[in-house]
Amino acid sequence: MKNLSFKLLNYIEEQINVIPNSCQVSASKEIEKALNLKLKKNIFKIFNNNLIGIYLHGSIGVGKSILLKALHIVFKKSEIFHFSDLAFYLQSSKKNNIKKLLKEINLIIIDEFYINNLTNIILFKNFLEESLNQKKIIIMSGNKKIDEIYHDPINAMICNEIKDFINKKFIKIEMKSKIDYRSKGNFNHNFFYIQKENSNKQLNLLRKKYSITSIPREIEFKRAGNNFFLRNYYGNLIDISFNDFFKKKLVFQDYVLILKKIKFLIIRNIPQMNESSKDLLYRFISFIDAIYDNKNILSISTKVELEKLYLGKSNSFEFKRTISRLKEMGSSNYINVNLKKIFK
């Protein structure tokens, strides 16, 4: 594939309506150079005994996810996963299904690489090794350097094995900037109610304006291995309380299922979280990632400022990405563009 960098940047500008930033320009050139895609016969030149793919890492809000989505569109025989989605797939699929998936594609794209448990380390390492055996390309993104990902002192050897594997088999491309490009937009206070006493009243008015029915009902969601119900469904919009919703033991795949059916979401009374509310935190992070990937409209009310929603330390780095994404989803540009798509 010739001119890969140009095609990636052109897609970002023409289809996503975003002017590529300097980090994306530089990274796209590095990707083209690493893959050596100028001639089709050289596509797999990178895949010898030493290399399997590319790891994009760096600052929050520099455009890694957008770049990977563009790569998925431009590179036809590719498949893209959010890491949470891939981890679920690896846990629930048989070995033959994974081999079949790898057989059908040449490029595997993994966004938001983030490990927080030992099971995912083992499954993902096996997946990487199988990908290497089948000479597949893997390009993935994350916020941390490889040496800084998950550490379990009890199982330090296993943790170090996957770090060593990625360090040896992946080319590392850093996207570094002091600017969070997602936070540059103007905040729309008609959708995000931060520390507002009358937030419930304002959210009621917002729901009345955008819902296609005034009568709430219950909606059922089904997927293999799970089915669940949500209340306060207004035809095209759902109005949920943070505690009621995130106490449900849902996973990334459930959130994707919800967001394919419902394009407008209201989440009320997001509380301040700490080390004792990690389950709620993980689900909230995963849900915001799913909304961001699907470009849904979100309206929220919070009891504290966004930067103070999480007071813990162990996941503070990961939560910065969530805050960054919330800021973009709360911007007038994001809301206006996606409202047009939903209500066209």
Domain boundary among 142, 175, 208: 175
- Digit-coded pLDDT (tens) for 237-273: 999 999 999 999 999 999 999 999 999 999 999 999 9
- In a shared domain, residues 80 and 163: yes
Q: Which two tokens stand for residue 263?
A: 């394009």
pLDDT in tens, 54-83: 999 988 888 899 999 999 999 888 999 989
Q: Kindly state whether residues 89 and 39 are assigned to the same domain.
A: yes
Same domain, 208 and 72: no
d(CA 118, CA 227): 27
User: What region does 248 belong to: left with phi over 0, alpha with psi -120 to 50, or beta?
Assistant: beta
Comparison of pLDDT for 67 and 132, the residue scoring more: 67
CATH number reported for the structural domain that contains residue 225 in this entry: 3.40.50
For residue range 155-171, list pLDDT tens digits in order: 889 899 999 999 999 99
Q: Give 39's pLDDT tier (boundaries 50, 70, 90).
A: very low
43 or 148: which carries more pLDDT confidence? 148
Would the CA dihedral through 79, 82, 88, 90 be positive or negative? positive
Instruction: Tell me the residue range of the domain where 147 lies.
Output: 4-175
Residue ending a domain, choose from 149, 175, 201: 175
Q: How many residues does the chain have?
A: 344
Whether 99 and 209 map to the same domain: the answer is no
CA distance 318 to 241: 23
Same domain, 196 and 302: yes
Give the closest residue to 151 by CA, choosing from 160, 161, 140.
Answer: 160
Q: Count up the domains in the chain and report the number.
A: 2
261 in the same domain as 325: yes
